[in-house]
């Protein structure tokens, strides 16, 4: 009897071990990540096609920035090009764009084509400064001049005049010129309005569509910032429970973003959320939120390293990451085509669409490692 019981016990134990062994592989990171599923609106790995949502470096992080680019089959007509690019302000975001440009420059060099360029910006965003730079550049015989428009109302006429003077001008990275501007093409984010709307939608959902929020915008007149703010406002307007308490411009300054947020929090201590429309907004806002201990939820643009760290810490709820590396690579490639006298069409579009991916806290660490080696 006892021997029979021992046999039965052994069989049960063996079965249990087999079950445990069989069960082990199913406890994969993919399932863990599904348990911490992001809020609606994010790219859930579980919704991806088979195989894309199962690794550590899962989408959306993997697809947020594409570092693998090759020049297309276009054969440049010259062996040396010289460009001038000017962008809004000195900031790591545009350093990332520069890296993409340098990769394209390297690949051209491998083909025996030398591409030299200047890539210049002021310390603070300024349409006046940008105008001066353009006026200096137009007399220096660059093959193409590229502009990240600081203020569309100020810069667009300057561009028109330069184009009329026979200078090849393109716009790139974050901001296009005003509609109807004569610039030849634009390479960069073409969906700033949607980005603002998407981030605001995520915030509204998080707040259960009820709360008081503030909007931080970057530079006044900067099309990308204004478009995002407009997208944010329109989204808020859809929900009766949502209210915009304040809208402020930080002029692409982190310090100013911090100061403005502190003031907003002082004026509205019951603030529920902050919508940040540029790269400096979320960093300054996060500093203030962390300092005051406010429970306001931050959604914002871009992938400043400090912003990603705040995302990792949970101070920021989500970030819209633009693929600046691809923007830079494509900018230089389009510039070469424009320099050869090509117009938008088969060789390149009039507006090159670059992606924005909303990432949440669970992806922050991977993104930090992927982009900055911050591990």
Partner 1 sequence: MKRKKRITNRTLLLTAVIGSFLIMAMVTANSIWSSNQTLLETEEAVSAVSVFYLDTMADRRAQTVSNQISNEFDQMEKALAFIRDEKIESQEELRDTLGKIRSLLSLNRFALVDRNDIVYTQYTTYTGKSRHEFLSAKKMDDRIISTVSLYGSSKQLCLAIPTPDLTIMGKSFKACFVQIDIQDIINLLAVDDQGRTYFALYTKNGSNLSGTELGPVISNRNILEATKGLVSEEVWKENCDRFAEDARGSMTFSSGDVKGTMCYVPIPDTGWKLAVLIHESVISDQIRDISEKNLSTSRNQIVLSLLAVLSLSSVLFLELMALSKDKLDAEKKTSKAFQTMANTDSLTGVRNKHAYSEYEDAVDQKIQNHEIQALAIVVCDINSLKYVNDTQGHAAGDQLIKDACALICESFPHGAVFRVGGDEFVVILQEKGYETMDEALGQLNKKVEENINEDGVVVAAGSSVLQPDDRQLCDVFTRADHLMYERKSKLKALGAKTRET
What DSSP line would sit under 67-78, residue for residue?
A: ------S---S-
Q: Does 45 participate in binding partner 1 (rule CB under 8 A)? A: no
Sign of CA dihedral 142, 144, 149, 151: positive
Q: Does 371 participate in binding partner 1 (rule CB under 8 A)? A: yes
Sign of CA dihedral 329, 157, 178, 219: positive
- Tell the smallest beta-carbon distance from residue 329 to partner 1 (Å): 12
In terms of C-beta density within 10 A (0-12 exposed, 13-18 middle, 19 or more buried), how is residue 174 classed?
A: buried
Q: Does 19 participate in binding partner 1 (rule CB under 8 A)? A: no
Which of 52, 102, 306, 340 touches partner 1 by CB under 8 A? 102
Stretch that binds partner 1, among 91-99, 147-155, 160-168, 214-222 (CB under 8 A): 91-99
Q: Which is nearer to partner 1, 129 or 195 (CB)?
A: 129
- Tell the smallest beta-carbon distance from residue 52 to partner 1 (Å): 21
Distances (CA, A) of 96 to 103, 353, 371: 11, 17, 9
Nearest 5°: CA angle at 6, between 3 and 7?
90
Q: Which is nearer to partner 1, 91 or 206 (CB)?
A: 91
Q: Does 375 participate in binding partner 1 (rule CB under 8 A)? A: yes
Q: Does 118 participate in binding partner 1 (rule CB under 8 A)? A: yes
126-141 residues labelled b (16+ CB within 10 A) or e (exposed): bbebbbebbeebbeee
- Tell the smallest beta-carbon distance from residue 332 to partner 1 (Å): 11
Stretch that binds partner 1, among 14-22, 35-43, 114-122, 183-191 (CB under 8 A): 114-122
Q: Which is nearer to partner 1, 67 or 270 (CB)?
A: 67
Which of 115, 242, 321, 358 touches partner 1 by CB under 8 A? 115
- Tell the smallest beta-carbon distance from residue 339 to partner 1 (Å): 15
Q: Does 237 participate in binding partner 1 (rule CB under 8 A)? A: no
Beta strands in 272-336 (DSSP E): 273-276, 297-301, 316-322
What DSSP line would sit under 218-237, residue for residue?
A: -STT-HHHHHHHHHHHHHHH
Q: Does 255 participate in binding partner 1 (rule CB under 8 A)? A: no
Q: Which is nearer to partner 1, 118 or 194 (CB)?
A: 118
Which of 6, 10, 77, 116 touches partner 1 by CB under 8 A? 116
Q: Which is nearer to partner 1, 118 or 160 (CB)?
A: 118
What DSSP line would sit under 4-28, residue for residue?
A: HHHHHHHHHHHHHHHHHHHHGGGS-
Sequence length of the chain is 375
Name residues whose C-beta falls within 8 Å of residue 366's C-beta, 6 or more positions apart in sequence.
Answer: 56, 57, 58, 61
Give, as ranges, the residues between 351 and 370 that touch partner 1 (CB under 8 A).
369-370
Which of 30, 48, 90, 244 touches partner 1 by CB under 8 A? 90
Beta strands in the chain (DSSP E): 80-86, 114-120, 144-147, 169-173, 186-188, 211-217, 242-249, 273-276, 297-301, 316-322, 351-353, 356-360
Q: Does 239 participate in binding partner 1 (rule CB under 8 A)? A: no
Backbone phi and psi for residue 83, each to the nearest 5 degrees, phi listed first: -120, 165
Run of H or E residues at 366:
helix 361-372
- Tell the smallest beta-carbon distance from residue 118 to partner 1 (Å): 4
- Token pair 């193409």 is found at 144
Q: Does 71 participate in binding partner 1 (rule CB under 8 A)? A: no
Q: Does 114 participate in binding partner 1 (rule CB under 8 A)? A: yes
- Tell the smallest beta-carbon distance from residue 153 to partner 1 (Å): 24
Instruction: Yes or no: say if 147 and 134 are a contact pair by the CB < 8 Å rule.
Output: yes
Q: Does 30 participate in binding partner 1 (rule CB under 8 A)? A: no
Which of 31, 47, 79, 123 touches partner 1 by CB under 8 A? 123
Interface positions with partner 1 (CB under 8 A)? 65, 67, 90-92, 94-96, 98-99, 102, 105, 109, 114-121, 123, 324-325, 369-375
């Amino acid at each position: 009897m006892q021997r029979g019981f021992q046999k039965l016990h052994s069989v049960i134990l063996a079965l249990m071990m087999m079950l445990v062994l069989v069960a082990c592989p199913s406890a994969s990171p993919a399932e863990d990540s599904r348990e911490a599923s992001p809020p609606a609106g994010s790219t859930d790995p579980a919704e991806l096609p088979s195989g894309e949502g199962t690794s550590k470096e899962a989408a959306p992080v993997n697809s947020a920035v594409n570092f693998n680019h090759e020049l297309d089959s276009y054969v440049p007509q010259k062996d040396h090009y010289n460009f001038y690019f000017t962008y809004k302000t000195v900031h790591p975001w545009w350093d990332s764009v520069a890296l993409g440009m340098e990769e394209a420059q390297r690949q051209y060099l491998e083909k025996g084509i030398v591409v030299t360029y200047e890539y210049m910006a002021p310390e603070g965003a300024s349409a006046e400064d940008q105008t001066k730079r353009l006026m200096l550049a137009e007399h220096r015989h660059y093959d193409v001049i590229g502009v990240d428009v600081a203020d569309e109302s100020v810069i667009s006429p300057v561009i028109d005049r330069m184009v009329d003077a026979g200078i090849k001008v393109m716009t790139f990275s974050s901001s296009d010129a005003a509609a109807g501007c004569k610039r030849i093409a634009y390479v960069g984010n073409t969906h700033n309005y949607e980005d603002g709307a998407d981030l605001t939608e995520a915030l509204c959902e998080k707040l259960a569509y009820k709360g008081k929020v503030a909007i931080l915008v970057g530079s006044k007149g900067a099309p990308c910032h204004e478009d995002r703010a407009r997208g944010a406002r329109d989204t808020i307007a859809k929900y009766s429970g949502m209210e915009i308490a304040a809208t402020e411009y930080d002029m692409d300054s982190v310090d100013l973003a911090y100061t403005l947020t502190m003031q907003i929090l002082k004026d509205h201590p019951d603030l529920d959320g902050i919508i940040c429309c540029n790269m400096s907004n979320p960093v300054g806002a996060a500093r203030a939120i962390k300092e005051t201990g406010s429970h306001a939820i931050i959604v914002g643009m871009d992938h400043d390293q400090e912003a990603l760290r705040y995302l990792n810490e949970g101070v920021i709820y989500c970030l819209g990451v633009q693929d600046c590396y691809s923007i830079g690579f494509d900018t230089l490639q389009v510039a070469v085509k424009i320099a050869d006298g090509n117009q938008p069409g088969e060789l390149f579009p009039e507006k090159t669409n670059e992606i924005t991916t909303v990432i949440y806290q669970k992806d922050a660490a991977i993104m930090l490692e992927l982009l900055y080696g911050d591990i």
